[in-house]
Every structure is written in C-alpha cells, then in structure tokens.
Structure 1
Amino acid sequence: MLQLREEFLLPKNVISSISTYIVALVNNLQSLIEQKAALCHSDAVGNAFASTSATNSTKKYLDIDAINNTINEVCCAVEAVTRNEYQFQQFCEENFSYRPPKQIVLSDPGEATELAYFIPIDETIKSVLHNNYVIDQILDNVKQQRQKVFGDEDLMFSFRDGDYGSRIDDDSLLVQLYIDDIGLTNPIGAKKDMHKMSMIYFTMEDVPDQYRSQFEHIHLVGICTSRTLKVKPLKKFMMHCFHVPQCGRSSPRVETLADNLAAHQIGGFQSSFSTGYVCRRCFLKHADLHLPMIHIRPDTRTSTYHDDLVRRITSNLNGTSIMGVVGKSLLSDLDGFHPTMSLPADLMHDYLEGVCPRVIISLLKEASALRLITYFRIQERMEQFAYGHFDSRDKPPPILVKHLQNDKIAASASQKWCLFRLFPLIFADIVDKLPSFIVYKQLREIVDIVFSVPFRKAWLPTLRDLSFAFQYSMIKHFPRQVVPKVHFCTEYDQVINDYGPAIKQWSMRYESYHYYFKKIALRSNNYKNTPKSLATRYRLKQAFSNFRMTQLNHSDQAIRIQKVKNNLFSNEMKYVIINHFGNIDMSKDLVQCQKFRHENVEYCRFGIYIISLANLTEAPEFVQVINVIKLTHKWWLLVDVLTTVGYDDKLCAWEIRSMDQFRILDPYSMKYYLKGLDVYEIDNSTFVTFTARLTSY
C-alpha cells in the first residue's frame, strides 16, 4: 500500500478500492477452500485422535494438496487475466459484454494508412436502456414535461418545445451530438509534441436535469486525428459516427453541437471570423459589427437560399465562397440535418468563453484608469476573497497584471462563470462607481434569462431588447471588445425560439469530459495509435459501467455520519424536532451527517437551497440546512426558513435574513430548482447569487 501511495501516486480512494477488492478475493478464496473440505468419521483419523464419545461424529478436514491446488487455480486465473492486453480484453468480452471499437480505413490505396475508430450509437443506447430504471426515469421525465407544456403552452423544457423540435414525435428519443478537437501532449520520447484528436460525443437530452452534469451520461461516438479530418473526405466516417437508430415512429432530427469554428467547418461556412460574413445564422458582415442592431437587421439564412448558394459554388470552377458559404456540409447526406437548422448556438463559447470575460477585463481596466483600484489590489482582492463551499470547486485564479495587459483571463469556462457571477460581490466597493457598469448589469440580466430552464416564451421579446441594448452599450463603452460573439449574443431570442432552452444545448460538460481522455493518454503513455488506445479504454470503462448499472443511480449517500449530542440543538430546534417526530431521545434515536446526496443533489450543512417561488412575484424562497438527521431508516433536513428581503441591483444578488424559523423537510419530496448555493456577507447583510430566472410551473 505504501508503494501504491508514494511511488505510483495513487489517490486514497483508489487505494481503498484496491484493498476492498483484495479482501473480496480472500473471502472468495476462503469459500473455495471450504468447498474442498471433506467430511469423514472421527474414527478414520486414528485411535490417537479418536473421540471419547460413544457415537461417531463428523469433522471437516482439509487436504494440503487440495488447498495448494485451489490457491494455484486462483493465481493462474488472476495471471491469465493480466498477462497481456489481448487476454484481458477476451476476459472482458466473456464476463462484461465488452465489444471493441470499430475501425474505419480513411486513406486511399497506396497512401499512408489513416484510421478512425467509432462506437455505434445504437449499441450504446441499447446498453444504456437495458437498465429498466433508466428507461422509467427518462419516460417519466418526458411525460412530466409534456403534461406541464400541455397545461401551460408558454413553457419550454427541451428541444421539443422549439419550432424545429415541434416537428418530431413526443415518443422519439432526443440525441445530441458534439464534435471538438483536443490536444494530447506527449511529454517525453521522440514524438514529443501536441497530438490533436477530433472527438465526437453524444448524450440523450431527455435525462432529468439533476443528472445531466454526470459524466456517465456522455458517450464517445468516434475519434480520429485532427489532420485526418482536414485532408480526407469525411463522408464515410461521419455517416458511421452520426448514424442514429430510429426511436419511436420516426427518426429524430439530428442536433449537432460544436463551438463556432467547428460548427462553421461542419456546416460548410467560412472558418474566418475576422473578415467577410461571420455568422452562420444571418448575413452579417464583419465590417458591420459596430453598427447597432436596432438600426440594421441582417437577413436570416434560410434552407432554400443556402441550398441555392451551395449549388452555385459547386458549379463554379473557382470554388470561391459566396456570402460566407464555402461548400457542401460534411453532414449533408445525414437524414434530418441542414446547416441552417441543425447547428444551434453554444452558451459556453459565446458567453462564458466570449463576452463575459471581456466585460470583466474591461471593467477592471476602467476601474484602474479611474484610480479606484490598482492592478496589484485586483490580484490581492481575488486572492483574499472567501469563496463558499460550492463556489470553491470553481474558484477562479487571481487576475494578474499580465492578464489585464493582454485582455485575457487565464481560467476555465466554469471558473470564468464563477468570477462573472461573483464579480459585484468581490468588488462591491467600486462597481457602482464605474460609468460602464451598466454593461455588466445588462449582460447579467441576459445571462440570467438564457441560462434558465424551463424557459418562458413570453421572455423572448425582453431578451431581444436586452441583447440589442447590450450590443449598443458595448459599442459605446468598449468598442475594441466588439467581436463576432457580441453579435452572436443578440441572436439568442431566435435561437431559443427555434431550439428550446439554450442551456440544454451548451457544451460545458462535453468540454469537461475531455479531461478523462487527456488523463488516460498521459497515464498510459502510448502514442503509437492514440485514437485506438483511447477508444479501447473508453469501451472498457463503458462495459464496466453497464455491468454495474450506474446510470441514473438513485441510491442515497450520506457522508461523515456521527452521533447526535443533546447540546447540538437550540431549544427552538428541539421543539421543532419533537413536534415532528414525537417524544424521542435525540442522543440515542438520531444520527447526523455532514452531507447527504439524493438523486444527484447534494444537501450540505449550512448550504442554501430554493424550496419554492412566491405566488405573484416568483421571488425565490430560501432555506439554510442546519443539520441532516436520520431517524430509523430515513434522512430528514432540519432547515432555517429564510426571509427574502429583495433583489439588490448593485450586487445582482438576493438579500436574505434569518428569523430562526426552523422546519423539518423531506428531501425525497422536495421540488428541484437549483443545486446548493453559498451565502456571502456584504456590509453586515447576507446575500445569495445565481444565474437563472426561475418560474413557477
């Protein structure tokens, strides 16, 4: 264990799993030995060991040769599995239904071999839906959404509720496809370089919202080197990867997600965003980016006109682009796909990686220019800010002087999101002194709307007006930061109208899933045929996951369970507990835990949660979990019902106040709005902040 920990640097949870399996192996070995035990009469042992009893008795005895043979059989079985990769995969095929990834030869005869690997979507979907609980959860989620929309047609839950999604059947399965490039670095050896891989993933959109963030619901479809995608015809590879089996009465419309560059390459649009027609949804030129949208209205691209442009380019021997279109889409032969309707916008790249960090950098530079704060104090302020339990997972790194000089924040998308949300709290003493703070407030209100699910169609006109006002403010205050992504943000009212809630099509979790393959490549240190290695390792992981049936795992998990002490609760809390459970001995009948996870929602002590919305104003009603207690076989939440004072426009946060109103809540029957929130204290007042507009349904 010491070698595993200190030489191979395995984490504690991995070492614990290894020790658990060793104990299980010893227990199985013990069972095998007991099966080898023979029964014989006591007089067969000999007179020296004869029983003094008049009756014959039976005893178990073990033959030393039988023990050695049993141990040798176990050792041979273990060695046979781990002797080489081929035998290991054969063992997985026999016991875990493992199937190797399929191989495609993309190169022409006589050329250097170019290979790609894919996992058929239909096989993955069948393996996932083999779990009856998964099927029930998905069908129940779709049924509930359809019932809510039938009762209130203003609601939008998924792609089905957009204009394009209304054309598919309710009993069809919604499948999202995502394509992106990742860089894998070989740190040593002759091939020390960055290996670029093109990854294609898919997920099922109908998975309940609280489970969508789990990696096990993202599945690999295909993988090949990026240079192959650039120089080889992709029709054969793409048609294999993007083949979606029929679900329901008809095949679902293909919904392909990608960042802007990949989406333009897939759709047959120009890949440059610094000149010409930069938008795949309208005919906006780069030269017109600084013109207010309230004065210009670029024509929207239609499928008919786009097809006409493709025909003109195809018939043109020069092959030059026309109005931003460079040719036929890579997926044009795929049923249900069209470049103008099957490539939705991506919140992560347009907002979290686009306009949000640009606005933050611009505001901080303006604050420095007005002598409100220095670059050094900005770094110091971010280092000293106390992030809450939930936000600390995405704690952004400090903004250094070089970041401000280069107009670039070095952080991940989730860290930029956290910084954008907490910006008014971190710099609460200066934000209201910035003349351009109106830009942040407009953008924050837009983000709150576009990140909402369910979404209301009545919000679309408000979103359009806010987007146009934000673009005008950017032109006025930060003209150097007006890039194509600022224009993309003005189109989200139409994007949501066509595709449903925008957050259902964002690529955040797909981007996070890249880390798994980067880690596998680094630890395996095998760069001879990287696509095959990664596809094989993923397929093995998928086989184990299906064997364990972990999808939509609804088992509860309590962390740090301990006994309850009588002095833990105040008199008001004791009154609430006794009133709910009756006359019990708290120190004997109750236990507590630090965290409790139910249906992938973590209830943490002192975390803030939304339990309902006010009837008229739809203001959120908050509770703070004081303790998580268990009586007999069920967990309960002891909460403090907080008073919602109101929304603070300066801090973009809800002010809350504790009135010591305690209640016992059942986590199994609570309605899900958002996961846990942190509380922050500013000027002797407490606030919570989140990016979403909630609505009653």
Structure 2
Amino acid sequence: MKDTLQSCLGKHNCDIDEAVVSDMVTELCEANPLNSTLSRSGPLSSAYKRRAFFEEQFGVVKPVEYVLSKEENRTFQYIPLFKSLLQILNQKEIRDFIVHDSEAQSNSDTQYRAMSDGNYYKTNELFSAGHPSIAIILYVDDFEICNPLGTSRKKHKVTAVYWVLASVPALLRSSLTSIFLSILCKAGDVKRFGYSAVLEPLLKDLVSLEEEGLYVPALGRKVKGTVFSVVADNLGAHGMGGFVENFSGSHVCRFCLGERSQFQVKEVRTGAFQVRTKEQHEMHLQTVQENPALTHVCGVKRQCVLTENLKYFSVLSGYPPDVLHDLFEGIVPREMALCLQVFIKSKYITFEELNKSIKTFPYKWSDKTDAPQQIPLNFAARKSVGGNAHENWSLLRFLPLTIGSKIPEGEPAWEVLLVLKDIVELVVSPVHTEESICYLDSKISEHKHRLLQVFPQEKLIPKYHYLEHYPQLIRAYGPLVFLWTMRFEAKHSLFKRIVRYNHSFRNILLSMAMKHQLRIAYNQHDPSVVRPVLQATQLSTVDVAVLREDIQKALQDKFPTEMHIQIANNVVYSGTKYAVGMVLANGSTGGLTDFGELIQIVVVKGTLLFIVKSLIAWSVEHLRSFILEKTSTVKVLEPTELSDMLPLTPYVLGGKSIVTLKRYICVP
C-alpha cells in the first residue's frame, strides 16, 4: 500500500516526507474495518474469536455431547430439538405452513397429493385435532465417512438421525438446508448400546413436545407435535422398529404376518396375508419378553423405542416403505440384469451394441445429468446392472428408446420390463386417485405373473412382497415418493466433505456436528428461506408486434391490452427448469394425455406463461412412449394449467419425435 500511495502522490507532483507517508498508510489500514477486525487485537483475529462471533450473531444451536460409557470414552452428539424448532419457527413462511396445514387439512377425498391426505395422518389424534401441530419426519441411516473400500472401512461408520417438518411443501422439504441434524453416533456404539440409549435425549424432547408443547412467541401459544414417520431403508426401519433384521428368515415383513415361503405363490391383493394389528403386535411382544429363549415371534424381536415413549406414534404406522431401496436399488437393477441376459442370449443385441446404444444416446437437459452408465461385464453373475438409483431409473426409462427397435414385439422378457416401467412411473407419481391406485395394484399383479412365467426358477426377494403392499400404503401415507430416502442420503455428502477437509479424526463427531450447525445457522439467517417461485436470469423486454403472428394472436386473446412482454429461453419455476423445445403435458383427450411443444417462455406482469404448439400424440405400446406430430394450434398456458409440472424431453427416433414419461400423469 505504501508503494501505491507514493506512486499516486508522485503523479500529482506531491513531495511528502516518507515518515508522513508511513503514518498515512497506518491510519488508512486502521480505518479499514476488515483490517481492524482481523488485526491481532481485533474481534475476529483468531478462529476461536470468529466462531464465537458467528455463534452469537447467527444464533447457532450448538451440539451437546452425551456419554454412553465414561470408562471407554464412548459419546455421541445431540442437537437440542426445541432450540432448533424455535429457530425454524421464527420464520414466518414456516409458521404459515404449519397453520395452513391444520386449517386446510384433508380437503380432498378423491386425490392423494400429500401426507395429510393419507389415512394415517387423518386418523392421528394430534394432527387431526384441527389446531396447529408439528409433524416431524425422522430419518435414520448409517454411512461411511471414509473410503468404503479402504482400511478404515467400518471403523468410522456413523449413524445419523436427521429430521424435517412434514407440513413444509415437498419442494422445500427436499432442500438440504431444510433437513436438520438430530444425532451423530458411531454405528458400532448404536449396535452395542441400543437405540434406547442413543435416542434418549431426543425422546425426552419429543415426549415434552407431545405433552406440553413448544411455546412459539409469534403465534402467542404453545404448539404440540410428534413424529409422523421414520424414513429409513428396510434394515434401518426393522432395527429401530424392533423387527427381525435378517431378511432370509420366515417373517420379514413389517406390514403383515405373511411367511416368506408364501411370497412366491400368494399375493397381498387377495387378502392372503393378514395385516399386523396393534393387539397382535402387543401379544407378540409379550411372548418374546416372557420367553428369553425366543429370538422373535412373527418377526417381532423387541419393543420399538418410539412407540414405547410416544403417545401419538405407532410402530405399525410409523415406518413407511422406501421406494429408493425397494425399486431403484433392488428390483429394477436385478430385473434388468435378468432380462438383458435373455436379449443377449437370444441374439437380439450384443453386449457391445447394448453399451454403445446407452453411451451414444443423445441425452438432453436433466436426462443428461442422470444419464445411465454402461452395463458392467459381470452383470449376469452379479444379478445387477450396477449403477445408483438415478442411473437405474434412467436406464429403465430409456431402454425402449435405445434398444426397443431391436427387440421383437411380444417378447415375454421385454414385456416384463415394460410393465416394470409402468409400475415405476405410477409409484413415483406425486398425485394419486383411487383409479391410479387400483391400476398400480393390477400392474403389480401382472408383473409378478409375467416375471415368474419368463423366469420360473427365480426366487423372489422380499422387496417384491413389499411392493405388493404399495397400493394400500399409498392410501395410508399419501404419495410414497414424498417419503423416500433419496434426499436424506444426499445430506451425507456434506459430512463427508467436512471429514475430508478436517484432516483429523479426533472428536470427529463434534467437528461434524458443529460445522453443520454453523452452516444451518447461516442458512436460517436468510430473511427468506423460501426461494422465489419464479427465477429467470435472462429476461428480454420485446414488443408483442415483433413476435410470430401465431404467438401474437395467442397472447392478444389472453392479454389484449399488453403491448410489451418479457421473454426468456429458460426459467426455473417452483424448482423445475423449463426451456424452449421441451414438451409439456396439458389436458387430455379420450383419457390420454395431451402434449404441447414449448415454443416461447413469456412473463407478463410477473406472471409466467408458456406458449405451446399443440401436438398429436400416438401411444407406442412396444416402447411405452408417445410419437408426437406437430399441429398449427398455439396456446397460452399458465403453470397451474399443466397436467404435470415435470417437462419432458423430445428425442428423434427413426425420423419421428418421441417422448417417454418419467412419472404417471393423472388425467381428469
């Protein structure tokens, strides 16, 4: 700085003594707020002082260490629930969601759009009381913070308990900043000391929340709450719920009393498997407790710690299925491996051609982000195509477009995959009706029969049986896609990054918890935790007269007085990206969805409009896709007029434009 100042003075012919220049530099440095705060005596001069400042200014909810064994120094970290809830409920948007949820609860008897439309939410005494309440979704999972293939595998495996508010809309709930930390514990300690010891501080807070409630100053009253459900994979759900954790035994279903030996030949839809009841469960528990020699009775090993302590939580309604592990990391990769073997053995396609078709397909937009990986050479021996959940989902979805033309129509193994594709689209749908649920039920039954006809020697894994429960579970929980583990598992990556940059495993749980809480406090400090519904970075204002004549007419019919509008090539609306060239679903004809090509994105007085050119859609059953033909009809649509908010990507196949659905669309 001294050299810069002397140079500037020299340019202006100012001859000033060097001592004076030094004094000026000192004064300027001291006047700089950044320098003064970071100086040796400043309030932010050290990492300790900076953290203390952040904790005070941002209201950091600090983790509390609990001791499992003082002699062996076994501890875990807990984030106080009440302090976290108060921090969240200080934000008006979140309070409004809770109040609105109690007022508008279950307005629909014909559609399932949210958890509050499910029977379990409606029949919960606390949530159905008609006053604001806090519904919490817990998530429990183990994850590796080291290389899972390295020498430290399992040594540093961590059990995490996260939570979200069920009343928050699904879009906001899926944001990692809306997923809060409750507990971090070494997985080995959970296994050794049990869930009752590790969950003790959380359970105390939850009992208090149920019985006394949390005083929310902005509402001027206490608000009670409880756990609505625990989201976990099957192993985690059975472990916390007190069911058997060995899935090769007899009673491996937490939803019914069916024996695994019957899963192959009987179906849930026929009533062959008795659903678990509260009375039976209590009887099974009593039998196990009275006979220490018994490892389990009808799959029940011990009391669920949540049911034991909470008045409004039941083990029989609190552990929903997990679509991610049942389908995308279970049934889907397994079945694709079976069927691809048939196609290769039948010489419809070679292994090399299969991988080439997957690799060279021109994926676009979000499809490119989740593009499937090539099939590993040993897929037949592994009985899996590998890949993560997103990749397996994409592979199943795009197989009809990549290799469908090479497979003869009516090929039984191909029909198995097509029906599985139908099931996946139905299961991940965010909206259900009684018609769609019954349709799913019939598809699951059809799929099982086709699978066993083509592969009669295939022994069905328990996940096939769990899938048969899905229709009834949708009625109980609402759309199951809102209760899967996918977004929770993404939260693990934050802790893995913390460990990677920490360079030390000393007090690693405390480091992970503290750094997470600092980040959460920073995010909560944002005056608006809800992102703007419409996000457009490149808007251009144009005269309506310069637009294409058909677009002009469509706009003038809806906005006759508007002379100027804003246009964009792409926007983000409610978390979904839309771009010119995408295909949107709008309305239906004869029970089939109508589509339109997005030709212009327009914003008029802050309102988003889609200019679409109507398309004629022809269903191609062999590809489970739609061939699209353009028309001259142009329409102006608002987002609320779309049949499905998820846009589709058109591809050219054999000279024709074609789209394949990602999820089932409920048409009126």
Specify if TM > 0.5.
yes
1:154 is matched with: 110
CA RMSD in angstroms, aligned pairs only: 3.3
| Contact kept? 2:599, 2:613, Cα under 8 Å | no
2:201 is matched with: 240
Compared with structure 1, are the counterparts of its residues 670 and 134 closer, same or farther at alpha carbon in structure 2 (3 Å cutoff)? Answer: farther
Compared with structure 1, are the counterparts of its residues 89 and 306 closer, same or farther at alpha carbon in structure 2 (3 Å cutoff)? Answer: same
- The partner residue of 1:86 within 40, 48, 53 is 48
Amino acid at match of 1:535: A
Compared with structure 1, are the counterparts of its residues 189 and 501 closer, same or farther at alpha carbon in structure 2 (3 Å cutoff)? Answer: closer
- SS of the aligned residue for 2:458 comes to helix
2:569 is matched with: 594
- SS of the aligned residue for 2:418 comes to helix
1:626 is matched with: 599
State the TM-score, normalized to the length of structure 1.
0.81
- The partner residue of 1:317 within 277, 292, 300 is 292
1:102 is matched with: 64
Compared with structure 1, are the counterparts of its residues 687 and 527 closer, same or farther at alpha carbon in structure 2 (3 Å cutoff)? Answer: same
In the TM superposition, residue 483 of structure 1 has moved relative to its aligned partner by 0.8
Amino acid at match of 2:80: P
- The partner residue of 1:658 within 622, 630, 636 is 630
> How far apart in 2 are the matches of 1:452 and 1:398?
27
Residue pairs, 1:468-483, within 5 angstroms: 468-478=445-455, 479-480=457-458, 482-483=460-461
Amino acid at match of 2:394: C
In the TM superposition, residue 118 of structure 1 has moved relative to its aligned partner by 1.8
Moved more, 676-685 or 67-76: 67-76
Q: Does 1:304 align with 2:279?
A: yes
In the TM superposition, residue 676 of structure 1 has moved relative to its aligned partner by 2.5
- The partner residue of 2:182 within 209, 217, 221 is 221
How many residues align? The count is 624
Compared with structure 1, are the counterparts of its residues 662 and 203 closer, same or farther at alpha carbon in structure 2 (3 Å cutoff)? Answer: same
Compared with structure 1, are the counterparts of its residues 359 and 145 closer, same or farther at alpha carbon in structure 2 (3 Å cutoff)? Answer: farther
Moved more, 127-136 or 485-494: 127-136
> How far apart in 1 are the matches of 2:655 and 2:519?
50
Compared with structure 1, are the counterparts of its residues 154 and 239 closer, same or farther at alpha carbon in structure 2 (3 Å cutoff)? Answer: farther
Amino acid at match of 2:188: R
Residue pairs, 1:387-398, within 5 angstroms: 387-398=363-374
1:520 is matched with: 498
Map Cα deviations across residues 583-611 of structure 1 (whole Å, 9 max, x no partner): 999xxx6664332123323222222223x
Moved more, 637-646 or 270-279: 637-646
- SS of the aligned residue for 2:645 comes to coil
> How far apart in 1 are the matches of 2:421 and 2:621?
10
| Contact kept? 1:390, 1:677, Cα under 8 Å | no
1:687 is matched with: 658
Moved more, 249-258 or 599-608: 249-258
How much identity, in percent, do the aligned residues show?
21
Map Cα deviations across residues 30-89 of structure 1 (whole Å, 9 max, x no partner): xxxxxxxxxxxxxxxxxxxxxxxxxxxxxxxx9776434313773434775665443222
> How far apart in 2 are the matches of 1:426 and 1:415?
15
Amino acid at match of 1:270: V
| Contact kept? 1:605, 1:625, Cα under 8 Å | yes
> How far apart in 2 are the matches of 1:133 and 1:166?
24
Amino acid at match of 1:607: M
- SS of the aligned residue for 1:178 comes to strand
| Contact kept? 2:37, 2:45, Cα under 8 Å | no
Which consecutive residues of structure 2, in runs of 5 or more, have no partner in the other structure?
A: 1-22, 214-221
In the TM superposition, residue 390 of structure 1 has moved relative to its aligned partner by 1.7
1:455 is matched with: 432
Amino acid at match of 1:99: V
> How far apart in 2 are the matches of 1:65 and 1:551?
42
| Contact kept? 1:211, 1:599, Cα under 8 Å | no
Compared with structure 1, are the counterparts of its residues 642 and 359 closer, same or farther at alpha carbon in structure 2 (3 Å cutoff)? Answer: farther
Amino acid at match of 1:367: F
Amino acid at match of 1:118: Y
Q: Does 1:207 align with 2:168?
A: yes
- The partner residue of 1:647 within 616, 619, 622 is 619
> How far apart in 2 are the matches of 1:481 and 1:276?
14
> How far apart in 1 are the matches of 2:561 and 2:286?
81
1:429 is matched with: 405
Map Cα deviations across residues 528-556 of structure 1 (whole Å, 9 max, x no partner): 22221111111001100111134222264
| Contact kept? 1:186, 1:195, Cα under 8 Å | no
Map Cα deviations across residues 621-646 of structure 1 (whole Å, 9 max, x no partner): 33333233456x64654522322424
Compared with structure 1, are the counterparts of its residues 481 and 362 closer, same or farther at alpha carbon in structure 2 (3 Å cutoff)? Answer: farther
2:35 is matched with: 74
> How far apart in 1 are the matches of 2:413 and 2:184?
45
- SS of the aligned residue for 1:298 comes to coil
> How far apart in 2 are the matches of 1:78 and 1:396?
52
In the TM superposition, residue 687 of structure 1 has moved relative to its aligned partner by 2.5
- The partner residue of 2:444 within 467, 485, 495 is 467
In the TM superposition, residue 580 of structure 1 has moved relative to its aligned partner by 6.3
Amino acid at match of 2:329: E
Compared with structure 1, are the counterparts of its residues 299 and 73 closer, same or farther at alpha carbon in structure 2 (3 Å cutoff)? Answer: closer
- The partner residue of 1:132 within 79, 87, 92 is 92
State the TM-score, normalized to the length of structure 2.
0.84
In the TM superposition, residue 299 of structure 1 has moved relative to its aligned partner by 2.4
Map Cα deviations across residues 254-301 of structure 1 (whole Å, 9 max, x no partner): 311110011111111111112322212222333333223278813222
Q: Does 1:381 align with 2:343?
A: no
Residue pairs, 1:203-602, within 5 angstroms: 203-242=164-203, 243-244=205-206, 245-246=209-210, 251-293=225-267, 297-335=272-310, 336-431=312-407, 432=409, 434-478=411-455, 479-480=457-458, 482-554=460-532, 556-561=534-539, 570-574=548-552, 576=554, 592-602=567-577
> How far apart in 1 are the matches of 2:68 and 2:294?
24
> How far apart in 2 are the matches of 1:535 and 1:436?
49
Map Cα deviations across residues 427-476 of structure 1 (whole Å, 9 max, x no partner): 22134353222222332332233222332234444433332332233222
Amino acid at match of 1:274: S
Amino acid at match of 1:205: A
- SS of the aligned residue for 1:277 comes to coil
Compared with structure 1, are the counterparts of its residues 250 and 134 closer, same or farther at alpha carbon in structure 2 (3 Å cutoff)? Answer: closer
Amino acid at match of 2:583: I
Compared with structure 1, are the counterparts of its residues 616 and 82 closer, same or farther at alpha carbon in structure 2 (3 Å cutoff)? Answer: farther
In the TM superposition, residue 666 of structure 1 has moved relative to its aligned partner by 4.7
| Contact kept? 2:544, 2:552, Cα under 8 Å | no
Compared with structure 1, are the counterparts of its residues 64 and 353 closer, same or farther at alpha carbon in structure 2 (3 Å cutoff)? Answer: closer
> How far apart in 1 are the matches of 2:415 and 2:461?
19
> How far apart in 1 are the matches of 2:153 and 2:330?
31
| Contact kept? 1:559, 1:594, Cα under 8 Å | no
| Contact kept? 1:344, 1:505, Cα under 8 Å | yes
Moved more, 165-174 or 222-231: 165-174
In the TM superposition, residue 647 of structure 1 has moved relative to its aligned partner by 3.0
Map Cα deviations across residues 214-257 of structure 1 (whole Å, 9 max, x no partner): 22222211111100100013324313235443478754453111
Compared with structure 1, are the counterparts of its residues 132 and 228 closer, same or farther at alpha carbon in structure 2 (3 Å cutoff)? Answer: same
Compared with structure 1, are the counterparts of its residues 604 and 615 closer, same or farther at alpha carbon in structure 2 (3 Å cutoff)? Answer: same
- SS of the aligned residue for 1:264 comes to helix
Map Cα deviations across residues 182-205 of structure 1 (whole Å, 9 max, x no partner): 111169999687621111111122
| Contact kept? 2:570, 2:580, Cα under 8 Å | yes
> How far apart in 2 are the matches of 1:583 and 1:302?
63
Q: Does 1:604 align with 2:604?
A: no
1:5 is matched with: none
Map Cα deviations across residues 373-422 of structure 1 (whole Å, 9 max, x no partner): 11111111100111121211111111132234422222121121122222
Compared with structure 1, are the counterparts of its residues 579 and 319 closer, same or farther at alpha carbon in structure 2 (3 Å cutoff)? Answer: closer
